[in-house]
Amino acid sequence: MTDLVLSIVRCLDAAVPATRRVTGGKPSIGRGEDNDWVLVDPNRHLSKRHCTIAFRSGRWIVTDLSTNGTFLDRAREPIGRGASAPLRDGSRLTLGEYEIEVRLEEREASAPGLGAANPFDDDPFALPKPAPAPFENDPFGRDPFADEPLARPVATDPFAGLGGGPAPAAPVIPADFDPLSDIERGDRLSDRS
């Protein structure tokens, strides 16, 4: 099957040039929020649903649904509301103040059973693809083929196995020890002058 790549080559200053890859379905383009590709149009030259694109009978076609017209290859007359026209590699669509270049790219046959693909698979508002595992090829990382360490209960005394005998029965410093007690009694170093 042939993929359709649509690239904005001329647009409003407020719009960001973008590219969309159409792999199937019947995507719509227009200023309305319910379109597959929403184009910013503060001057309202575009219709809410300006045109659709579909793959029929082995070729891509555009269907004009607009009031102000969808123009193909810089023609003076629009395709016509409700009318369709075939798209070729290098065609140009003019929608209001936008000019969109059409590219046809051959795609390798996909594996069976994968289902229909998203017609605009590079949608900037789509959910992100899962990130690869960090440090996937880290030579200093954990060996993926090593056995997992066995779980051990956490010891209450981390230094218990280091030797040194049993813990002393009584504390080394008495409980009533006060390091500042000498100052309270008035013991001072005498002045030897």
For 102-156, the pLDDT digits (tens) are 998 887 655 554 555 555 556 666 666 665 555 555 555 555 555 555 555 555 6
pLDDT of residue 109: 58
pLDDT of residue 128: 63
Distance (Å, rounded) from C-alpha 51 to C-alpha 62?
Answer: 7
Question: The pTM is what?
Answer: 0.54
Q: Say if CB 21 and CB 121 are below 8 A apart.
A: yes
Distance (Å, rounded) from C-alpha 86 to C-alpha 65?
Answer: 15
Q: Say if CB 120 and CB 70 are below 8 A apart.
A: no
Percent of the chain with pLDDT over 90: 25
Q: For the segment 175-193, what is each residue's pLDDT rounded down to a tens digit?
A: 788 877 766 555 555 555 5
Q: What domains can you pick out in the chain, each with its CATH number?
A: 2-106 (2.60.200.20)
pLDDT of residue 10: 86
Q: For the segment 11-61, what is each residue's pLDDT rounded down to a tens digit?
A: 877 677 788 888 888 899 999 999 888 888 888 889 999 999 998 888 899
Q: For the segment 75-90, what is each residue's pLDDT rounded down to a tens digit?
A: 999 999 999 999 999 9
For residue 183, the SS3 value is helix
pLDDT of residue 120: 53
pLDDT of residue 188: 54
